[in-house]
Structure 1
Amino acid sequence: MSPLDAPERRNSDLDAALAEARALYAKARPASAEAHQAAQAVMPGGSTRSVLFWTPFPISMARGEGARLWDADGLEYRDFLGEYTAGLFGHSEGSILAAAQAAMARGINLAAAGRDEAAFAGLVCARFPAIERVRFTNSGTEANIMALATARAFTGRTDMMVARGAYHGGVLTFAKERSPVNLPVPTRFMDYNDPEGAAAAIRAAGDALAAVLVEPMLGSGGCIPASREFLAALREACAETGAVLIFDEVMTSRHGPGGMQGRHGITPDMTTLGKYIAGGFNVGAFGGRADIMDVFNGHRANALPHAGTFNNNVWSMAAGRVALGEIFTGEAAEALFARGETLRARLNAACAEAGLPMQFTGAGSMMTVHFRAGAITAPYTATPEEEQRRELFFLDMLAAGIYVARRGMISLSLPLSDADLDALVEAVREFLAARGQVLR
C-alpha cells in the first residue's frame, strides 16, 4: 500500500468511530434531545450560552450534588468540568448555601450598601497584594470591561493589547483577531509566550497604549501557562511606557493563595477576578493600585461612574465571605494546586506509555487535552482531525460517566475524591487503548 493511502484510511476510521460515538450519545439521551428540540422554538439554536452548545444536541442537566451530576435521562456523571472553574466548591456546599439563603431571607433587592460587601472586599484585598482597592461586578467579562475602562480613564489613552488566541469574556474574544461581537476598543496584538516580541510591541505602541490585558495561563485558549519570562517582559515594558498591566485571573486566581501572580512573584497594576470567588454565585471583581482605582472615588470631583444593579447583590456578597474567608483558604488553594499537578502528571504518563500524540497541558487544577506531540506554548488552530479526536474524547468520557468540557478542558472541584481522580485516569487509559488506531 502506498504511504499516501494511510492518512485516508486513518481518517475513514476516525469518521466511523466518531459517527458511532455520536449515535450512541444520541440514543442514550432522548430526554435531552426533546428538551433541545423544544428550546429551539424560543432560543436561536436552542441555546443561550455558546460554550454549552454542541451537535447533535447538548446535554440537559437535571441536578447536581457535590461532585456529581445527573442529566434529564437519569445518567450520572463525575463532574470534572466544575462549571469552567466557577464550580470550585461543587454543587451543594452547605455553608455557602446557608450564607446565601440567610442573606436573601433578610431581603434581596435593598438598593443600598450592604454589610457583607466591605468584608468580602477586605478578603480579596488581603488575598492579592496587587489589589489595594476593589470593586465588584456580575461576571468576569464585566470585570475585564471595567478594568479596561479604568486603565483608559487613568492613562488618558485609548488602545489595549491582548494575546492572539486569548479570551477575556463574551465581548473580548480573540480566537480570531477580529470578531463582530467584540467591543469597539482599538486593539493591538502580541503573541503569547513571546517575551521579546511582546515587549517590542508594547514599546512600539508608546503613549497610545492604555493597557495590556493577559491571562497568566490561557483558559479557553487551551490551558497554556505563561512563562515567567513572558510575564516579566510585559511587566518591564508596561512600567517603561506607562501602560497599565492587567492580569486576568478570573480563572487562574485559584492556583495559590495569591493566584498565578503570587506563584510567579510578578505584580500587575490591576487584576480581574470572577468565577469561583463567590462560591459559585454570579460575581466579578476588578482591582489594583489605589491611585488607579481612585478614578471611581465618589468623594473626588469628576469620579468615573460604575453602575450595576446587582454589583453588590446580597447573595454573592454573603457567599463570597464564606467561600474565601472560611473554605478556600491559602492552604486549601495550595493543596488543590498540588493535587492537580499530580493528576496531570498521571494523565501525561498514560499518554506517554501509549506512545500516542496526546497530552494534557495546564497548571494545578486546570488542564486541557491536546492531540499533538511536542511542547505547546501558544494557541494554535487545530486541524480537522484534531477537532474530531477532541470530540471523540468528549463523547467517550461521557460514555464512561465523566463530564468534561466539549473542548477537552478539565477543572477540578474540592469535592472530587481520590477515587474520582482514579476513575478519570482509568477512563483515559481505556480511551488510549480503544482509540489508539485513530489517534496516531
Structure 2
Amino acid sequence: MAPLDQPPPRNSDLESALLEARATYAAARPKSAELHEAARRVMPGGNTRTVLFWSPFPISMVRGEGARLWDADGHAYTDLLGEYTAGLFGHSERRILDAARAAMDTGINLAGAGANEIRFAELVCARFPSIERVRFTNSGTEANIMALSAARAFTGRAEIMVAKGGYHGGVMTFATGQSPVNLPVPTRFLAYNDVEGTVAAIREAGDKLAAVLVEPMLGSGGCIPATREFLAALRDACTETGAVLIFDEVMTSRHSEGGLQQRHGVIPDMTTLGKYIAGGMNVGAFGGRAAIMDVFDAHRPGALPHAGTFNNNVWSMAAGCVALGELFRGEVVEALFQRGEKLRAELNALCAEAGVAMQFTGAGSMMTAHFRTGAIKAPYAATPEEEQRRELFFLDMLEAGFYLARRGMVALSLPLAPTDLSGFTAAFREFLNLRGPVLGRAA
C-alpha cells in the first residue's frame, strides 16, 4: 500500500484521544462509578487518600491475590503498582499472613512490650549501615516526623532542609514548595542533584540547621535517582556544619539489603523506613546513630516521649520478622533489583526505537514514565500536554490489563512472573504503535 493510501493514525489529536480513552474507561466501570457517587455523600471528593483519586472516578478494587487485582466491575489486572512500594510481597504471601494471624490469635492489643519487636529491631539494625538503634511507628510519615524531632532535639537547632519536589509523608509534601498541610517547621529548600548549590545552601544555614532530609531517589517526585556525588556532598556538608543527615528510605530501602545508602556507600546519620518492611502491614521505623537515638532513652532524665498505641502492634512486629528475616534477603533482593533494571532498559529501548518524547527513570524495581527527552536530574513542572500523555498512558495500560500509578509510576512486586513483565512490554509496544503520533517526537 502506498503511503498516501494508508488510513490516518487513529486519534492523531491528543485531546480527542484522551477524551475517547476516558469515555471507554467510564463505560466499562459502572459499579466503580456508582460506589464513587456513594462515597461523595460521606467523604469530601468521595475519597480518603488523595493519590488514589482521579477523574472521572477512581477504580474500586475488591480483591487481590499474588500480583493480581480485581475491581468491582469484574476486571482483572496485573498489579504493577505494588501499593506504591508497600506491596513488595504481593497481596497474599502466605507466610506473612500466617505470622500475622498467629500473632493476633494471642490477642490484638496487649499494651505491653513483646519479643517480636526485639527481633524485628535486631533485623533492621543488622541490615542498614546507619542504624545502631531503631524505634517503630505506624507509617513512614510518622517515621520522618520523629526522625526530624530527634534531630532537632539532639542538635538544639530548629530549621530543616528538604529537596524541592520531595515527599516525606502526608504532612511533608513539597511538590510545589510549602503546603498548608505541612508541619509548621522552619524549612529551607535544596535543588536535587545540584551539588554546588546544595553545599552552599547548607553552609549558609550553618548552625541554624538541625537536619537535611532527602530521598536517595525521589519516589513520588518521579523516581529520579540522586547521583553518588550529590549524596556524598550532602554527607560532607552535614558533617561540616553539624546538621543531621537523614535518608528517607521508606521506598528505596528495597534496592539492596541495606538500601540505597549501602549501594552508594554513603552513610547518613539517620534513616527512615516503612512500606514493605512488615510485609505490607501498617509500620514505619526510624533509626540512626546511638547518640542521636538515645534522646528517646527513658532511662535518662528528660528523654523525649514517643507515643503511639500501635507502634509495636503484634501483627506488624510478627510480619516484619518474617518479611526481613526470612523472605526478602540476599539473592532475592538483588534479583528484584536486576529485574527492574532490565525492564526499564527494555522500555527505554522501545521509546528510542519509536522516536517518541518518552522515557522511564528510576532504579531497580521502581520507575516512572516521563514524556520528555533529555536527562532528568531533578523534579520539573510538567506541561499540560505532558500531563495529558501521562493520563493517556495510564488509561491505555488499564485497558490492556495493567494497573500502575496514575502518575506513571511502576513498583514491581516479588510475585510478578516473567510473563507478566513480557506482557507489559508487549502492551507498551502496542501503546507506542497506536499513540505514537500524539506522544511528541524525540529531539
- TM-score of the superposed pair, with normalisation by structure 2: 0.97
Determine the C-alpha separation between the residues in 2 that align with 1:197 and 1:358: 29
Q: Deviations over 1:320-374 (max 9, x none)?
A: 0000000000321111101100010000001010010100000000000000000
Q: Is the 8 A contact 1:246 1:272 kept in 2?
A: yes
Distance 1:257 1:134 in 2: 16
Q: CA deviation at 1:21?
A: 0.2
> For residue 137 of structure 1, what is the aligned residue in structure 2?
137
**Aligned partner of 1:242: which letter?**
G
| SS in structure 1 at match of 2:246 | strand
Partner of 2:119: 119
Q: What SS does structure 2 have at the residue aligned with 1:372?
A: coil
Do the aligned partners of 1:358 and 1:370 also contact (CA within 8 Å) in 2? yes
Match of 2:76 in 1: 76
Structure 2 stretches lacking a partner, 5+ long: 1-9
Counterpart secondary structure, 1:276: coil
| CA–CA distance in structure 1, aligned partners of residues 315 and 156 of structure 2 | 36
1:162 maps to amino acid: V
Determine whether 1:398 maps to 2:398. Answer: yes
Distance 1:177 1:407 in 2: 19
Deviation at 1:126, TM superposition (A): 0.4
Quick check: 1:248 aligned with 2:277?
Answer: no
Q: Which residue of 2 aligns with 1:3?
A: none
Q: Which residue type is aligned with residue 270 of structure 1?
A: M
The one-character-per-residue Cα deviations of 1:95-139 (angstroms, maximum 9, x if unpaired) are 000000000000000000012001000000000021000000000
Q: Secondary structure at the match of 1:272?
A: strand
Q: Name the amino acid aligned to 2:292.
A: I
SS of residue matched to 1:352: helix
Q: How does 1:58-77 map to 2 (within 5 A)?
A: 58-77=58-77
One-letter amino acid matched to 1:324: L
Deviation (angstroms), 1:176 = 1.3
Q: Is the 8 A contact 2:96 2:279 kept in 1?
A: yes
8 Å CA contact 2:147, 2:270 repeated in 1:
yes
Q: Does 1:355 align with 2:331?
A: no
Match of residue 37 from structure 1: 37
The 1-side partners of 2:302 and 2:265 are apart by 35
2:271 matched residue in structure 1: 271
Normalised by the length of structure 1, the TM-score is: 0.97
Q: Which amino acid aligns with 2:198?
A: A
Residue aligned with 2:285, SS = strand
User: Quick check: 1:11–1:385 contact (8 Å CA) kept in 2?
Assistant: no
Deviation at 1:178, TM superposition (A): 1.8
Report the counterpart of residue 223 of structure 2 in structure 1. 223
**SS where residue 276 of structure 2 aligns?**
helix
1:11 deviates by 11
Moved over 2 A (4+): none
User: Counterparts of 1:412 and 1:293 in 2: how far apart (Å)?
Assistant: 33
- Contact map agreement 2:214 2:247 (CA 8 A) in 1: yes
2 CA distance for matches of 1:257 and 1:99?
22
The whole-number CA distance in structure 2 between the counterparts of 1:128 and 1:427 is 37
Asked whether the equivalents of residues 207 and 241 of structure 1 are also in contact (C-alpha less than 8 Å), the reply is yes
Deviations 1:403-422 (A, max 9, x none): 00000000000000000000
Cα separation, 2, equivalents of 1:155 and 1:303: 14
Cα contact 1:14–1:388 (8 A) shared by 2: yes
Give the aligned partner of residue 4 of structure 1.
Answer: none
Look up the match of 1:257: 257
The answer to whether the 8 Å contact 1:130/1:271 transfers is: yes
Q: CA deviation at 1:430?
A: 0.6
Aligned residues: 432
CA–CA distance in structure 2, aligned partners of residues 106 and 11 of structure 1: 59
Q: Deviations over 1:239-277 (max 9, x none)?
A: 000000000000000000110000000010000000000
Q: How does 1:272-351 map to 2 (within 5 A)?
A: 272-351=272-351
- Tell me by how many angstroms 1:12 deviates: 8.2
Matches within 5 A, 1:409-428: 409-428=409-428
CA distance in 2, matches of 1:25, 1:384: 21
**C-alpha distance in 1 between matches for 2:71 and 2:38:** 16
Post-superposition Cα deviations, 1:286-342, rounded to whole Å, max 9, x if no partner, equal: 000000000000111101000000000000000000000000003211111011000
Identical aligned residues as a percent: 77
Matched, 1:13 2:13: yes
Alignment of 1:45-194 (within 5 A): 45-194=45-194
Question: Alignment RMSD, CA only?
Answer: 1.2
SS state at 2:369 partner: strand
Residue in structure 1 matched with residue 5 of structure 2 by the alignment = none
Residue of structure 2 equivalent to 1:5: none
How far apart in 2 are the matches of 1:294 and 1:119?
A: 19
Q: Partner amino acid for 1:203?
A: R
CA distance in 2, matches of 1:137, 1:218: 22
